[in-house]
C-alpha cells in the first residue's frame, strides 16, 4: 500500500487516451465513464485521481509525422510526458474494420517500447456492432503486452446496444477497481525501481528519460579496447 | 573552428523540374561543389558512403583524392566512412594513401550505416553492427600506430605480422571522428582514444545532441586526454539561405516537402521549429547556429548539409556563395569572440605533427627489402629498433 496516495496527499495521475474522432465521441465517453468511476472509487477509499486526457484527434498530424520522420511535435511531446508520469492509463479505441483504429494503434506504435512498462492499463473499445467484441482482447491486449503494461483482467467493450445496459456499468466498475488496486499497490513503481534495468532500453528511450549509461557492459569494454564477447551460435 | 559542408551523395529527382540527374552528372556536380566550397572560404568538405542506389558515393577516397588535387586548403573528410561493412585493413590502407596524396589535408568520420540489406553483401550482420564498429576501430587504431600488427577478433580473419601500407603521412595517423546520434558506446570509444566526437545535429532538437556531447566531454577528461573543454566536437546541421527570409522558404519548400528522409511528413515550419534546420536569411542562419554554441560550448567543426533532396547544381552553388560570403565570416567573428582560450583548436595534420614531434623532424619510414613476410625478423622498416639478422645461405 502506498501511503502517499491513500492519505490523499497526492492524487493518482490517470492518463486517458481516446482514439475517438467525432465530437462528442462515444469512445471518449466510454473512457470518461471509466475514468470517473476510478475517481469515484478512489474517493470512497480516501484517495483521489487527477485525470489528463489525450484526445488523439488533435494529435493526428503529429502522429503521422512521427511515423514517417521520427520528429515528435509539441503535442506528442506533451502526451509522452503525461503518459510517462501516469500512475494508470485508460486506453480507449474505436473499432474500424474489425481492428482498433489506425490512429489509435499508430499513436502507441511511435511511443518508446519502455515508456509504459508495468503501468496499470484499462483497455476499452467501442463499435457499432457486438461482432467486434473480441477486438479488445485479441488485438489491443497483445499490443499492450508488447509494451509490457499491467493490463487489467477486465476489458471494456461497448457496442451500440450496450450503452443503456447495466452490465456495461458493472464491467466498468470491475475494471475500475482492478486498476485502482494496482495503482494503490505501487506495483508499477516497484517494478520500475527494482527491475528497470532488466528490460531493454535505448539511450534516450522512455520518453527521453532513460539516460543512464552502464559502463560495465561487454560493448563498453569493447569500446575501450577490450575484446568482443564470443559470438553466440545461431 | 572549421566550417564545411557534407553531402549524403543522394541522386534525387528535382521536384521542381521533375528531372533526375544521371550518376555522371551528379558526380561531376559534387566535384564542382567541393571546389566551390574552397573558393568561398569554407574549411572542410565531407562525402558520405553508400553501397546502394540512389547514391553514388561507394568509393569516397577516390573522390576525395581527386578533389584534393583540385584544391589547396580544403580539408577532405567523410560523413561517414562505414566502419562496419568495410574491412578496417582496407580503411587503414585507403585513407593513409589519401592522406599522403592530400598532404595531410584530410580526416575521416566513422559511422555504422543503418541499411540492413547492405551488411550481408559484405558478409556482415546489422544485428552485430555496434560490436563490429567498436572492434573494427580498435583494429584500425592499431594498424595506423604499429608497424607490425598481430591481431585476433570476432569479426574478421586474424592477422599475423601484418603491416598496413603506406604508413600514415609523417607517421601521424589521420584524425578520426566517431559519429553517433544516440549510442553512448560510440561516444565512449571516441573519448577513450581521445578522438573527435561528431553529433549529426539534423533530426532532433539541440537538447538531444547535447546529452551525448556532454557525456563524451566528461569521458574525454576521465581518460586523461585533457579537460572537458579540450574535447573535440563536431556538429552537423542544415540550412537553406536566401537574402530574404520569405524567398528562402518559397524556394526550399518543394525540396523539403519531397526530401527523401523527412518529405511528406512534418511541415517545413514544424521541422524548423523542432530541429536545427534553418530556412531563412543569412542573419537567421547565423542566429540559429550561435544557439548551438550556447548549448554545446566551444566546438571545432560545424558542417552544413546543402546539396540534398534533388537541389540542382546552380542552387547549391548559390547556397555556397551565401554560406561562405555572408554567414560563415560573421560566425567566425562571433565564435572567436566567445571562444574560451582553453578549448582545443580544430584538428589539422600540422597540429598533430606538432603535437607528436614538437619542432623535431617527423618520422619518414623507408621499408627494408622484401623478405616475403613480416613474421620473422624485426621491423619491416629501416628505422626499426632491431636489426634483422638472417642466416647465411650456402
Selected for mutation to probe chain B from A202, A212, A222, A233 (highest B CB count within 10 Å) is A222
Shortest distance between the Cα of B276 and any Cα of chain A, in A, equals 12
**pLDDT recorded at residue B376:** 63
**pLDDT recorded at residue A24:** 87
Of chain B residues 268-287, which have a CB less than 8 A from chain A? 270-271, 274-275
Q: Identify the band that residue B389 occupies on the pLDDT scale cut at 50, 70 and 90.
A: low
Please compute Rg for chain B using Cα positions. 22
| Residue A14 resides in a domain | yes
| Residue A109 resides in a domain | yes
Q: Identify the band that residue B169 occupies on the pLDDT scale cut at 50, 70 and 90.
A: very high
B262 — contact with chain A (CB < 8 Å)?
yes
Residue B214 CA neighbour count, 13 Å, CB half: 11
Q: Give the start-to-end residue ranges of the domains of chain B.
A: 2-357
A·B CB contacts under 8 A? 77
Residues of A in contact with B212 (CB under 8 A): 203
Note if the bond before B265 is cis, omega within 30 degrees. Answer: no
From the list A71, A220, A227, the residue facing B274 with the nearest CB is: A71
CATH top-level class of B2-357? alpha beta
Say whether pLDDT at A4 is over 50. Answer: no
Q: Put residue A186 in one of left, alpha, beta given phi > 0 → left and psi -120 to 50 → alpha.
A: left
Number of domains in chain A: 1
Supply the DSSP symbol for B144: T
For the segment A110-150, what is each residue's pLDDT rounded down to a tens digit?
Answer: 999 999 999 999 999 999 999 999 999 999 999 999 999 99
Residues of B in contact with A73 (CB under 8 A): 266, 270, 274
Selected for mutation to probe chain A from B143, B187, B189, B266 (highest A CB count within 10 Å) is B266
Contact A149/A112 with Cβ under 8 angstroms? no
Cα-Cα-Cα-Cα dihedral sign, residues B297, B301, B307, B308: negative
Selected for mutation to probe chain A from B265, B272, B273, B309 (highest A CB count within 10 Å) is B265
Say whether pLDDT at B294 is over 90. Answer: yes
Q: Put residue B224 in one of left, alpha, beta given phi > 0 → left and psi -120 to 50 → alpha.
A: left
Determine whether the interchain pair A213/B138 forms a contact, defined as Cβ–Cβ distance below 8 Å: no
Q: Across residues B145-156, what is the average pLDDT?
A: 95
Say whether pLDDT at B370 is over 80. Answer: no
Cα A71–Cα A74–Cα A77 angle in degrees, nearest 5: 75
Distance of CA B72 to the CA centre of its chain: 19
For the segment A144-160, what is each residue's pLDDT rounded down to a tens digit?
Answer: 999 999 999 999 999 99
Residues of A in contact with B192 (CB under 8 A): 223-225
Is B48 buried (19+), middle (13-18) or exposed (0-12) by CB count in 10 A?
buried
Residue A125 CA neighbour count, 13 Å, CB half: 28
Mean pLDDT value across chain B: 94
Given the C-alpha cell 522558404, which residue does it identify?
B249
C-alpha cell at A116: 509504459
Say whether pLDDT at A1 is over 50. Answer: no
Domain CATH code at residue A28:
3.40.50.360
- What SS3 class is residue B71? coil
For the segment B93-137, what is each residue's pLDDT rounded down to a tens digit?
Answer: 999 999 999 999 999 999 999 899 999 999 999 999 999 999 999
**pLDDT recorded at residue A3:** 44
**pLDDT recorded at residue B372:** 65
From the list A71, A217, A222, the residue facing B275 with the nearest CB is: A71
ipTM score: 0.91
B188 — contact with chain A (CB < 8 Å)?
yes
User: What is the chain B residue with the closest CA to A220?
Assistant: B185
Q: Across residues A86-111, what is the average pLDDT?
A: 97
Give the CA distances from residue B277 to residues A208, B174, B272, in Å, rounded to whole numbers and listed in that order: 21, 30, 5
Say whether pLDDT at B67 is over 90. Answer: yes
- What SS3 class is residue A67? helix
| Residue A220 resides in a domain | no
Shortest distance between the Cα of A123 and any Cα of chain B, in A, equals 30
For the segment B325-341, what is each residue's pLDDT rounded down to a tens digit?
Answer: 999 999 999 999 999 99
Shortest distance between the Cα of B46 and any Cα of chain A, in A, equals 24
Determine whether the interchain pair A68/B134 forms a contact, defined as Cβ–Cβ distance below 8 Å: no
| Residue A221 resides in a domain | no
Angle at which helix A166-185 crosses helix A187-195, to 10 degrees, equals 40
Q: Which of these ranges, A47-51, A70-74, A196-200, has the smallest mean pLDDT?
A: A70-74
Cα-Cα-Cα-Cα torsion B240, B245, B249, B255, nearest 10 degrees, comes to -20
For the segment A23-66, what is each residue's pLDDT rounded down to a tens digit?
Answer: 889 999 999 999 999 999 999 999 999 999 999 999 999 999 99
**Residues of chain B above pLDDT 90, percent:** 87
From the list A203, A213, A228, the residue facing B135 with the nearest CB is: A228
Determine whether the interchain pair B275/A230 forms a contact, defined as Cβ–Cβ distance below 8 Å: no
**pLDDT recorded at residue B123:** 94
Residues of A in contact with B186 (CB under 8 A): 223
For the segment B240-274, what is each residue's pLDDT rounded down to a tens digit?
Answer: 999 999 999 999 999 999 998 888 889 999 999 98
B208 — contact with chain A (CB < 8 Å)?
yes
Closest CA to B9 of B48, B63, B52: B48
Domain containing residue A115: 3-198
Amino acid at each position: 500500500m502506498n501511503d502517499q496516495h491513500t492519505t490523499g496527499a497526492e492524487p493518482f495521475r490517470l492518463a486517458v487516451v481516446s482514439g475517438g474522432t467525432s465530437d462528442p465521441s462515444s469512445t471518449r465517453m466510454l473512457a470518461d465513464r471509466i475514468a470517473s468511476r476510478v475517481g469515484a472509487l478512489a474517493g470512497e477509499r480516501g484517495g483521489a485521481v487527477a485525470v489528463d486526457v489525450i484526445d488523439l484527434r488533435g494529435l493526428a498530424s503529429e502522429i503521422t509525422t512521427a511515423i514517417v520522420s521520427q520528429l515528435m511535435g509539441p503535442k506528442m511531446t506533451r502526451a509522452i510526458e503525461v503518459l510517462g508520469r501516469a500512475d494508470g492509463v485508460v486506453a480507449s479505441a474505436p473499432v474500424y474494420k474489425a481492428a482498433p483504429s489506425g490512429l489509435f494503434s499508430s499513436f502507441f506504435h511511435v511511443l518508446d517500447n519502455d515508456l509504459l512498462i508495468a503501468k496499470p492499463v484499462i483497455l476499452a473499445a467501442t463499435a457499432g456492432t457486438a461482432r467486434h467484441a473480441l477486438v479488445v482482447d485479441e488485438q489491443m491486449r497483445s499490443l499492450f503486452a508488447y509494451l509490457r503494461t499491467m493490463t487489467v483482467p477486465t476489458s471494456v467493450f461497448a457496442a451500440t446496444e450496450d450503452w443503456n445496459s447495466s452490465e456495461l456499468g458493472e464491467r466498468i466498475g470491475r475494471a475500475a477497481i482492478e486498476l485502482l488496486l494496482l495503482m494503490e499497490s505501487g506495483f508499477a513503481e516497484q517494478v520500475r525501481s527494482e527491475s528497470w534495468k532488466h528490460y531493454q532500453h535505448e539511450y534516450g528511450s522512455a520518453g527521453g528519460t532513460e539516460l543512464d549509461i552502464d559502463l560495465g557492459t561487454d560493448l563498453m569494454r569493447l569500446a575501450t579496447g577490450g575484446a568482443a564477447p564470443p559470438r553466440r551460435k545461431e | 573552428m572549421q566550417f564545411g559542408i557534407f553531402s549524403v551523395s543522394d541522386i534525387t529527382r528535382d521536384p521542381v523540374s521533375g528531372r533526375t540527374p544521371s550518376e555522371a552528372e551528379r558526380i561531376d556536380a559534387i566535384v564542382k561543389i567541393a571546389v566551390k566550397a574552397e573558393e568561398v572560404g569554407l574549411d572542410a568538405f565531407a562525402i558520405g558512403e553508400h553501397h546502394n542506389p540512389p547514391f553514388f558515393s561507394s568509393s569516397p577516397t577516390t573522390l576525395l583524392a581527386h578533389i584534393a588535387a583540385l584544391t589547396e586548403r580544403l580539408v577532405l573528410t567523410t560523413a561517414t566512412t562505414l566502419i562496419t561493412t568495410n574491412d578496417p585493413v582496407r580503411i587503414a590502407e585507403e585513407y593513409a594513401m589519401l592522406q599522403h596524396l592530400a598532404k595531410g589535408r584530410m580526416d575521416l568520420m566513422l559511422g555504422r550505416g543503418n541499411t540492413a540489406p547492405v551488411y550481408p553483401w559484405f558478409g556482415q550482420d546489422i544485428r552485430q553492427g555496434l560490436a563490429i564498429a567498436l572492434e573494427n576501430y580498435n583494429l584500425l587504431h592499431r594498424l595506423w600506430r604499429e608497424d607490425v600488427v598481430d591481431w585476433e577478433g570476432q569479426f574478421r580473419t586474424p592477422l599475423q605480422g601484418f603491416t598496413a601500407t603506406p604508413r600514415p603521412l609523417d607517421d601521424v595517423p589521420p584524425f578520426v571522428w566517431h559519429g553517433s546520434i544516440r549510442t553512448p558506446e560510440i561516444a565512449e570509444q571516441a573519448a577513450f582514444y581521445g578522438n573527435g566526437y561528431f553529433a549529426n545535429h539534423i533530426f532532433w532538437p539541440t537538447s538531444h545532441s547535447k546529452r551525448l556531447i556532454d557525456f563524451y566531454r566528461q569521458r574525454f577528461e576521465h581518460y586523461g586526454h585533457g579537460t572537458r573543454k579540450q574535447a573535440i566536437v563536431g556538429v552537423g546541421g542544415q540550412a537553406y539561405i536566401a537574402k530574404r527570409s520569405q524567398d528562402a522558404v518559397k524556394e526550399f519548400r518543394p525540396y523539403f516537402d519531397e526530401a527523401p528522409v523527412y518529405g511528406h511528413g512534418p511541415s517545413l515550419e514544424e521541422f524548423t521549429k523542432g530541429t536545427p534546420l534553418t530556412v531563412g536569411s543569412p542573419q537567421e542562419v547565423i542566429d540559429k547556429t550561435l544557439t548551438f554554441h550556447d548549448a554545446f560550448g566551444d566546438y571545432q567543426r560545424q558542417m552544413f548539409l546543402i546539396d540534398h533532396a534533388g537541389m540542382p547544381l546552380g542552387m547549391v552553388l548559390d547556397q555556397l556563395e551565401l554560406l561562405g560570403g555572408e554567414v560563415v565570416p560573421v560566425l567566425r567573428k562571433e565564435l572567436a569572440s566567445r571562444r574560451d582560450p582553453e578549448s582545443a583548436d580544430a584538428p589539422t595534420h600540422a597540429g598533430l605533427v606538432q603535437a607528436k614531434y614538437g619542432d623535431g623532424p617527423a618520422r619518414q619510414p623507408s621499408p627494408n627489402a622484401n623478405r616475403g613476410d613480416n613474421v620473422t625478423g624485426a621491423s619491416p622498416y629501416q628505422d626499426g629498433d632491431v636489426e634483422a639478422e638472417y642466416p647465411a645461405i650456402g
